[in-house]
Structure 1
Amino acid sequence: MSSVALNQPVPEFQAEATGDQTVRLSDLKGRNIVIYFYPKDNTPGCTTEGQDFRDRMEAFAAEDTEIFGVSRDGLKAHDNFRAKYDFPFHLISDKDESLCKLFDVIKLKKLYGKEHLGIERSTFLIDKEGVLRREWRGVKVKGHADEVLEAVKAL
């Protein structure tokens, strides 16, 4: 699987998500898709980011847009995280990092002076035809969901 490129079709993918869902890109054709990658369930930035998307869900839905959060956490952790914060969208478990690799979000990070490979907070906007239209890398959470919503409206 090669990684996605701006203004190119996103290769077909399939992933397991909360609520016993299997998410297939081909099943979502005809809708806009926001996929946001985040490091870990129940951490402050990741929780705030999820809440920001949740709080704008009606506006995204009005733009015919599906939202999916992705991390390497397992489905049980995702189900708990989703229920705890009442996220109306599904969370994808990417334990094998296949989606992370497709979107090239695994980066060398530093935490307390130690280096490790982790998910760089990133968001991708795929249009109704399955073409990648926008990407945000190294995302800062504050104001991000609003910026993504504006990009969806501009499609």
Structure 2
Amino acid sequence: MSQVTVGAPLPDFTAASTEGEITKASLAGQWAVLYFYPKDHTPGCTTEAQGFRDHHAQFQKAGARIIGVSRDSLKTHGNFIEKQGLPFALIADTDETLCELFGVMKLKNMYGKQVRGIERSTFLIDPKGVLVREWRGLRVPGHVEAVLQALHEAAG
């Protein structure tokens, strides 16, 4: 069950990332794009990360910080960042605290079996820590561009 609601401030959180600890307070004063993805080094997740990487300068110019989140370890994240040349932090949500907070854990069908995993989702957070937009169960093609457009619209 999600504890976040569009139009409401995010609850406090603390998470370990490849750039140190990230908290709600550390995001204050800037726009933030928090994107949740199933697993490092998989085709869809790699394509999504590359999209955010390739548009990183445009997000920065609009005053936004990009942060990826999955259940992978910091070590795996470090390898993924190095291999893909990612210029942003990845949160290692190994205990699923942030996943539960944002309500992204879902039962999914994989090879005919039900497995519990992250539903690909993105959240746009304003400089005051309020969730202004969410995308859940999304498809990768065109998504990064849609988030960038929403950021431009919201940021004015």
With the length of structure 2 as denominator, give the TM-score of the two structures: 0.97
Quote the offset at 1:120 in angstroms.
0.2
Quote the offset at 1:139 in angstroms.
1.0
**Alpha-carbon RMSD:** 1.1
Q: 2: distance between equivalents of 1:85 and 1:23?
A: 22
Quote the offset at 1:87 in angstroms.
0.3
Quote the offset at 1:2 in angstroms.
6.4
Q: Deviations over 1:50-74 (max 9, x none)?
A: 0000000010000110000000000
Which residue number corresponds to residue 37 of structure 2? Answer: 38
Matched, 1:63 2:62: yes
The answer to whether the 8 A contact 2:120-2:136 is kept is: yes
Give, as a single letter, the amino acid of the residue that structure 2 aligns with 1:101: E
Which residue number corresponds to residue 144 of structure 2? Answer: 145
Which residue number corresponds to residue 12 of structure 2? Answer: 12
Please list every run of at least 4 consecutive aligned residues from structure 1 whose deviation after the TM superposition is greater than 6 angstroms.
Answer: none
Which residue number corresponds to residue 28 of structure 2? Answer: 29
Q: Deviations over 1:13-62 (max 9, x none)?
A: 1100014x111110121100000000000000000000000000010000
Give, as a single letter, the amino acid of the residue that structure 2 aligns with 1:81: F
Q: 2: distance between equivalents of 1:136 and 1:28?
A: 19
Unaligned runs of 5+ in 1: none
Q: Report the secondary structure of 2:32's partner residue.
A: strand
Which residue number corresponds to residue 78 of structure 1? Answer: 77
Unaligned runs of 5+ in 2: none
Which residue number corresponds to residue 122 of structure 2? Answer: 123
Q: Report the secondary structure of 1:148's partner residue.
A: helix
Q: Report the secondary structure of 1:154's partner residue.
A: helix
Which residue number corresponds to residue 89 of structure 2? Answer: 90
Q: 2: distance between equivalents of 1:154 and 1:96?
A: 34
Q: 2: distance between equivalents of 1:101 and 1:74?
A: 17
Quote the offset at 1:3 in angstroms.
0.8
Give, as a single letter, the amino acid of the residue that structure 1 aligns with 2:153: A
Query: Alignment length, in residue pairs?
Result: 154
Q: 1: distance between equivalents of 2:105 and 2:2?
A: 14
Q: Deviations over 1:79-132 (max 9, x none)?
A: 000110000000000011000000000000000100011000000000011000
Matched, 1:3 2:3: yes
Q: 2: distance between equivalents of 1:28 and 1:73?
A: 22
Q: 1: distance between equivalents of 2:142 and 2:105?
A: 23
